[in-house]
């Protein structure tokens, strides 16, 4: 989806500049995440792609579905995206906005995939170590994947740390065959 990211980038940058100017970074995060979820809905995708409706009609329906989750600036964003046939890239706009926000705020979200559920102390230790390594405040998103057998895989921005048993076995197998 590199093309969608390229298309979404100027919109995300413009929205971020507006949010920063107004001091509403968190509010825009909420609006964009909600609008992105609406845009990703199968029925909404069908509507967005339908040639039977004008962009103004699609925008109005989209705004009605979002209800009070959008303020006037958020509604205007939907109208602009609809008029340029760009509602489908709202998920990418939201992701790019969040990346820019995290960059400015000095934070990063790290994905931790483990074989078993991590307790609070383990999560705190991982967050502290990553924060030290990356020089940023770290928020963890934890999930479980029993196929990795043991250990964990951590993804934070461009950093990937594969401490899973499956990953170590793959490295060992590769080393033995080469």
Q: Total structural domains in the chain?
A: 2
Do residues 111 and 131 both lie within one domain? yes
Is-contact 151 114, C-beta < 8 A?
yes
Collapsing DSSP to helix, strand or coil, 149 comes out as coil
The whole-angstrom separation of Cα 11 and Cα 69 is: 19
Do residues 31 and 67 both lie within one domain? yes
Is-contact 69 78, C-beta < 8 A?
no
Q: Containing domain of residue 166, as a range?
A: 107-177
Residue 109: per-residue pLDDT: 86
Do residues 145 and 58 both lie within one domain? no
The whole-angstrom separation of Cα 4 and Cα 123 is: 34
Coarse DSSP helix, strand, coil percentages of the chain, rounded to the nearest 5 percent: 70, 15, 15
pLDDT single digits (tens) 130-147:
999 988 899 899 999 989
Angle at 87 between CA 84 and CA 92, to 5 degrees: 115
Whether the pLDDT of residue 113 is over 70: the answer is yes
What is the average pLDDT across 155-175? 84
pLDDT single digits (tens) 53-94:
999 999 999 999 999 999 999 999 999 999 999 999 999 999
Do residues 79 and 119 both lie within one domain? no
Residue 2: per-residue pLDDT: 62
Instruction: Decide which of 74, 102, 130 is a domain's last residue.
Output: 102
Do residues 112 and 97 both lie within one domain? no
Angle at 24 between CA 23 and CA 28, to 5 degrees: 150
Is-contact 152 164, C-beta < 8 A?
yes
Do residues 43 and 128 both lie within one domain? no
Instruction: Decide which of 59, 79, 102 is a domain's last residue.
Output: 102
**Res. 167 pLDDT band, cuts 50 70 90:** confident
Do residues 137 and 167 both lie within one domain? yes
Which residue is associated with the tokens 């390229």?
A: 6
Task: Using alpha carbons, list the distances in angstroms from residue 76 to 15, 80, 113, 121, 175.
Answer: 11, 6, 38, 44, 56
Do residues 83 and 14 both lie within one domain? yes
What's the CATH code of the domain at 155?
Answer: 3.40.30
The whole-angstrom separation of Cα 88 and Cα 142 is: 28
Do residues 94 and 121 both lie within one domain? no
Is-contact 150 112, C-beta < 8 A?
no
Do residues 114 and 84 both lie within one domain? no
Do residues 147 and 115 both lie within one domain? yes
Do residues 88 and 31 both lie within one domain? yes
Rounded to 10 degrees, the C-alpha dihedral 15/21/27/33 comes to: 20
Cβ neighbours of 141 (radius 10 Å): 10
Instruction: Decide which of 68, 102, 136 is a domain's last residue.
Output: 102
């Amino acid at each position: 989806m590199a093309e969608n990211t390229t298309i979404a980038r100027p919109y995300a940058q413009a929205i971020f500049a507006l949010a920063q100017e107004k001091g509403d970074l968190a509010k825009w995060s909420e609006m964009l995440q909600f609008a992105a979820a609406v845009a990703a809905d199968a029925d909404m995708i069908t509507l967005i792609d339908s040639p039977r409706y004008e962009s103004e009609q699609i925008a109005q329906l989209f705004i009605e579905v979002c209800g009070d989750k959008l303020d006037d600036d958020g509604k205007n964003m939907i109208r602009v995206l609809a008029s340029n046939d760009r509602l489908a890239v709202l998920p990418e706009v939201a992701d790019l906005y969040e990346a820019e926000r995290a960059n400015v705020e000095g934070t990063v979200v790290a994905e931790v995939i483990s074989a078993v559920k991590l307790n609070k102390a383990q999560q705190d230790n991982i967050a502290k170590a990553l924060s030290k390594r990356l020089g940023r405040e770290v928020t963890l998103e934890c999930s479980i994947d029993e196929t990795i057998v043991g250990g964990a895989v951590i993804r934070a921005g461009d950093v990937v740390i594969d401490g899973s048993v499956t990953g170590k076995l793959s490295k060992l197998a590769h080393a033995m065959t080469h």
